[in-house]
Structure 1
Amino acid sequence: MKLKGQEKHFWWHFRQITNSRDIPTELPGFTSIDSLVDDEFMGMLAARVSIVHEIYLKETLVTDVGVKFISNFKELKSLTLMKHENITKACLPYLNTLTDLEYLDVWRTKIRLEDLSALTNLKQLKELYVSAGDEIDEPDQDVVLEKIIKAEETLPHCKILTAYQ
């Protein structure tokens, strides 16, 4: 079956696919760095692909809406959403549904250490990168340590790595 309109354009640019029978239902991974990949792109991908094992997005146009689409992928083990100023703690319920995640990078998003208590379902998570805060001055190490300890209560088997913006 031939693809039509916007979907035809998407699949041609994504994988030079012109026939819907050739669209994969599973991808080993997807990477985009400093690109125009946005929420609509993630929605088009999620509409046909059900399994993605790894997603690496750095400085794209993806927002919380795109994270909602990402949360539909099954078997996602690794998710990098580094340097996305429009990804906020509002997407945490979507991230919390990704129960196969072993690696999560939300560094330089609007998600902070104190927001991690919402990730109660990520029992497989082994490594997490997150911003400690927005402070420009010397950080209060005691406050950061308290936030890490609290986050470790939610994610006891996870190594939590932090940095300031």
Structure 2
Amino acid sequence: MLPIGSRIRVRRLELDLTQKELGEAVGDGVSKQTVRNWEAGRSEPTKHSADLAAALQWTEEELWAGPPPRRAQGPRRGPRRPTADERFTDAVGEGRSSTKDLLRQVRERTPDRPFLAYPEQPATRSEVDELRARLDKLEAWVREQDTTATAAVDDADDLTADA
């Protein structure tokens, strides 16, 4: 059986709570640091056990002795969060460039334009398509600027050569 600190951490993560959120749910001034100490085994929640058990949706007995075996718990409470890989796959589809690759390309191709706004992780396929369209427009703009700059340098070279 896991130590109480590990059980608190596992249960907190199952409920998708941060240490701060769990502390607030327990109340009575319980801080993120206090929750961190419980989880690390540096202290035990003896003073707050009833409120902590309620925040973790357990009885005090489950808090101290551990929850019943998984088979006896029934279905998981609340929806499961998709993993980052699942979100990327949903967003960009199998076999296509990942969002990270697209954003890396934008950053590499526009180092002098850090003010360009773009999301870190689009949530939907339409957002990815929109990002691809923006990237295409940006590439066209960069090519146009390069052509214009090259022409200006060539013209300047011609003027200095004639002088």
Between structures 1 and 2, the one with greater helix share: 2
User: TM-score, length-normalised on structure 1?
Assistant: 0.22
Between structures 1 and 2, the one with greater strand share: 1
